[in-house]
Structure 1
């Protein structure tokens, strides 16, 4: 991926969630300000009352999300949004932007790589927790929907540090890999090349063994 295309993708992943969040907040505030009870108030009372009503609305929705009905609604909304190719990226990025602004990313430890299959690495995050037998608990998100994933327990020696920040790893996951940094650590070797190298090493080992045994004649 060229440098300018990577920069554009990274910029969109950062800016679009912010713009979408601001648009939604502005739309909600405008709807609250248009309520009859708010419009009948004097101008110097209208804005404070609209802000109070908006905050109460946010708190009410937040409380609803803690109930079974709220969780079912959120799960259904996530499922619906993640079935639309472009909307799912914007939706998850916006959701991450709000969660990051309110809670920060300190709860997520440094991202790591985990070799799930030979030659295949996946990005995961340390949770800061360990099991009774000494295994490290990781959260491996899916892409681009980072609200779902897998909680896995692995031995510490199977984990490889990436040397990147949480924001960089989340940007790559949210962009489905299109914002991958060209200077990221690690070099991917094509499967065909790896197999060919293994074959050459095997042939070389056979030749050395034959030469070492000497000619029986």
Structure 2
């Protein structure tokens, strides 16, 4: 029985090898360029969206296009940052706190607006304020049933009525269970500490794992090298 061998000098083989190399290089280029291009596009779009909201409130004499004739993208972001800093500085003073309390009292008098404002205020304080309520640990829990594990974020220990009502003698933890690929939505769970496994990975690495649907894993930490034993 004879076997057919391809001559390495065959031009068809060289052509297939060349096409395979070009295809591999093209795919590698996409892997390199796609994240950079998407990041630049998202930043460019975000800056443009902020400019479209801020620039209509900026007086014409403060707009750079009145002097250089070019509409610079990002000027609205700068004005927005300056305005935010000024408002925060004023809110720390006595007059600013008084005006803030007066404004909140006006908002509290409107039923629907009051609910929306209080919800957004609580959300902003939770996200931006550096308090003990921010997520600081990633964990694994068995959800939605035994044998299936999900990544969660530990916020605080359960307190008050929640802690007193749950009929478990162990310490209870408040765990936020994010959804994929949008980690801003999810479930709020109260679990015994014995059923929560804390992870060494950071919150950022755990969030990347959730957003990527398990495609982006954090780098594995290398084990510590064994120290040589002292001679006896």
Q: TM-score range by the shorter chain?
A: 0.3 to 0.5
- The normalised TM-score by structure 1 is 0.47
Structure with greater helix share of residues: 1
- The normalised TM-score by structure 2 is 0.44
**Structure with more relative contact order (C-alpha pairs < 8 Å, separation 6 or more):** 1
